[in-house]
Amino acid sequence: MNLGKHDLAILAVLREDARSSLQEISSRVGLSTTPCWNRIKKMEAEGVIQGYTVRIDPGAIGFTETVIVQVTLDSHTDETLFEFGRQLEQIPEVLEAYLVSGDYDYYIRIAVKDTRDYERLLRESLYRIPGIRHSKSTFVLRTLKDTPVPLPTLPTVSGKGSKR
């Protein structure tokens, strides 16, 4: 989908507060409600907008530790990779998982309550997934940056008679 300036402006408003009313979004992006609504619906249909959610402070609900786990698998067949990913999806504490290049096959971000909770998760969930050859865990000491995806900027077009 080709995103224009109004689409990007709508995304910026929704990224800031997904609970913004249609009237507020329309007013902030300079469109009337019907074209604004149509653009939002088109971006939803095209998968640009994948859903609406709330950001929760993990510590406020008891998940005070974040662990980055690097995993190497025994095999790299399509079936092994598919099954590993499928089983990771079943572990609620797994927040993100990336198939990566380099020394490890996966980087996995996990939220846990404490080190004892992490040890439980390893025994009861992660290490029960067949095919793990090696893993390395790193506890996050502090989050330095946690932002949503950046929105692209449109190139400005300057022509005759334009002010600079």
- Averaged over 128-134, what is the pLDDT? 94
**What is the sign, positive or negative, of the torsion defined by CA atoms of 16, 21, 27, 29?**
positive
Q: What DSSP string runs through 59-70?
A: GGGT--EEEEEE
Would you state the pLDDT for residue 98? 97
| 24 Cβ contact partners less than 8 Å away, ≥ 6 residues apart | 13
* Per-residue pLDDT tens over the stretch 94-107: 999 999 999 999 99
Average pLDDT of the chain to the nearest whole number: 92
Closest of 104, 100, 99, 107 to residue 82, by C-alpha: 99
Q: What DSSP string runs through 87-137?
A: HHHT-TTEEEEEE-SSS-SEEEEEEESSHHHHHHHHHHTGGGSTTEEEEEE
Which position has the higher pLDDT, 153 or 132?
Answer: 132
Token digits of residue 95: 């927040």
Give the number of other CB atoms < 10 A from CB of residue 104.
18
* Per-residue pLDDT tens over the stretch 43-67: 999 999 999 998 899 999 999 999 9
Taking the model in full, what pTM does it have?
0.81
Angstrom distance (rounded) from CA 45 to CA 39: 10
Torsion of CA 47, 52, 121, 112, to 10 degrees: 130
